[in-house]
């Protein structure tokens, strides 16, 4: 596709959204060279005790998981290849549905539902056969290469800040550690879906206290955050900080070889925005430091970058225009809370202001949920 596009001058939002939806739902997945018809859609009936798939044999290429949560608990759905997370969707509420798109090569995978969003989940093995998903679309390859470069640059550029934060914790410099807490997390938060593909790496680094399971060790940023802001101390945090740096370096070393696809990039963009909608908006992410808006910005930056690398694959300009507009609206809303080189403390943002932030996030969430299909369709 040519780099210069002809944009519609001023289509109303409703018309743009309709166009986005039509583009997302139709066609074959030329971006991954595969079929996206009904035969490659798995309908999943998720309850509090079951995860029933209507088929377990699929053609290689683009596949769709049409999930309906008929239970009483919030659930998650994952596709695993061994221990690697291929894709996931968290926070599927009772009575709601979600369509998750991924690109699978031939092989054996497991689909897991996690009612209550805990444990290893209720798992079903699926078999994928054929040659789909193996063809190389030059534009798709460039998108993946560009995104990999972005991920690597984010980790590389923020690793020194992580090291500086860890050094402050190890030397007991509480004030400096507090000043570096949000900054040290920024790079990670922009590319977190990539980290999540490595199983337990993300929980080791970024687990919140509220998400701890019985008997689970609590490590990473939020463990240190609590000590810094609740006790105004770094006592006992040295080993945890040192391990944090080691874990982030583990991700840094794996980026060159981690498997990425157009679908995983598009799904990752939506996951990042979901992080905002379910954690940052509520103030649950950085509950002790109230640095949620910094993480909010990082998630939006990461989602926007994913959109930008996939933009040349989207054939409908209305989809692009709508996403560009909604990303700009979210940024405008965030800019109101900038303070110095960071943001105001989130506990100073009142309920009405949080509702407005939530509104602009929701307006972006709907078209962004169609990004994967639009880029592979």
Q: Is the pLDDT of residue 201 over 60?
A: yes
Of 134, 163, 186, which one is at a domain's C-terminal end? 134
Specify the DSSP class assigned to residue 11: -
Instruction: Indicate whether 225 and 195 sit together in one domain.
Output: yes
| Domain membership flag for residue 352 | no
Instruction: Check residue 278 and give its pLDDT.
Output: 83
Binned at pLDDT 50, 70 and 90, residue 136 comes out as low
Of 200, 228, 244, which one is at a domain's C-terminal end? 244
Q: Is the pLDDT of residue 287 over 90?
A: yes
Q: What does the pLDDT look like over 328-342, one tens digit per residue?
A: 999 999 999 999 999
| CA dist., res. 377 & res. 375, Å (int) | 6
Q: Is the pLDDT of residue 145 over 80?
A: yes
Q: pTM of the prediction?
A: 0.76
Handedness of CA 128, 132, 134, 137 (dihedral sign): negative
Q: Is the pLDDT of residue 37 over 80?
A: no
The domain containing residue 67 runs over which residues?
34-134
Q: In what order do the strands lie in the sheet with 51-53?
A: 51-53, 41-46, 61-69, 97-104
| Domain membership flag for residue 309 | no
Of 244, 278, 304, which one is at a domain's C-terminal end? 244
In this prediction, residues 43-62 reach a mean pLDDT of 93
Which CA distances in Å does 111 have to 120, 126, 186, 199, 219?
11, 7, 31, 14, 28
How many percent of the chain have pLDDT more than 70? Answer: 89
Higher pLDDT, 158 or 104: 158
Instruction: Check residue 134 and give its pLDDT.
Output: 57
Q: Is the pLDDT of residue 217 over 90?
A: yes
| Domain membership flag for residue 110 | yes
Q: What does the pLDDT look like over 12-24, one tens digit per residue?
A: 333 333 333 333 3
* Domains of the chain: total: 2
Instruction: Check residue 101 and give its pLDDT.
Output: 84
Instruction: Check residue 338 and give its pLDDT.
Output: 97
Return the CATH number at 50: 2.60.40.420
Which residue spans within the chain are E strands per DSSP?
Answer: 41-46, 51-53, 57-59, 61-69, 75-81, 84-92, 97-104, 107-113, 122-129, 338-339, 342-343
138 burial level (CB within 10 Å; 0-12, 13-18, 19+): exposed
Q: Compute the mean pLDDT over every residue in the chain, rounded to the nearest whole number.
A: 87
Compute CA 334 distance to the chain's CA centroid, rounded to the nearest angstrom.
19
Instruction: Check residue 196 and give its pLDDT.
Output: 83
């Amino acid at each position: 596709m040519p780099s210069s596009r002809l944009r519609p001058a001023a289509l109303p939002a409703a018309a743009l959204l309709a166009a986005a939806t039509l583009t997302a739902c139709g066609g074959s997945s030329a971006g991954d060279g595969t079929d996206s018809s009904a035969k490659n859609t798995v309908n999943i009936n998720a309850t509090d005790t079951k995860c029933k798939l209507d088929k377990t044999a699929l053609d290689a290429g683009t596949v769709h998981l049409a999930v309906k949560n008929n239970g009483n608990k919030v659930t998650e759905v994952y596709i695993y290849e061994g221990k690697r997370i291929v894709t996931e969707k968290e926070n599927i509420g009772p009575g709601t549905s979600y369509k998750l798109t991924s690109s699978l090569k031939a092989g054996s995978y497991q689909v897991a539902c996690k009612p209550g969003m805990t444990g290893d989940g209720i798992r079903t093995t699926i078999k994928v056969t054929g040659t789909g998903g193996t063809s190389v679309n030059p534009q798709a390859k460039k998108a993946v290469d560009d995104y990999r470069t972005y991920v690597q640059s984010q980790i590389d550029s923020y690793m020194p800040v992580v090291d500086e934060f860890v050094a402050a914790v190890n030397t007991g410099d509480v004030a400096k550690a507090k000043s570096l807490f949000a900054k040290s997390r920024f790079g990670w938060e922009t590319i977190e879906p990539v980290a999540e593909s490595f199983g337990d790496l993300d929980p080791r680094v970024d687990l919140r206290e509220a998400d701890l399971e019985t008997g689970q060790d609590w490590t990473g940023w939020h463990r240190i955050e609590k000590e810094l802001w609740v006790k105004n101390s770094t006592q006992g945090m040295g080993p945890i900080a040192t391990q944090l740096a080691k874990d982030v370096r583990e991700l840094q070393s794996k980026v060159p070889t981690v498997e990425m696809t157009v679908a995983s990039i598009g799904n990752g963009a939506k996951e990042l925005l979901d992080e905002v909608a379910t954690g940052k908006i509520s103030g649950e992410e950085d509950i002790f430091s109230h640095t949620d808006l910094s993480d909010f910005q990082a998630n939006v930056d990461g989602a926007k970058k994913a959109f930008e690398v996939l933009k040349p694959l989207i054939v409908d300009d209305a989809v692009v225009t709508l996403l560009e507009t909604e990303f700009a609206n979210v940024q405008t809303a965030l800019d109101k809370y900038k303070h110095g080189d960071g943001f105001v403390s989130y506990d100073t943002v009142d309920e009405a202001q949080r509702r407005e932030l939530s509104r602009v996030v929701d307006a972006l969430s709907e078209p962004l949920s169609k990004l994967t299909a639009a880029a592979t369709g």
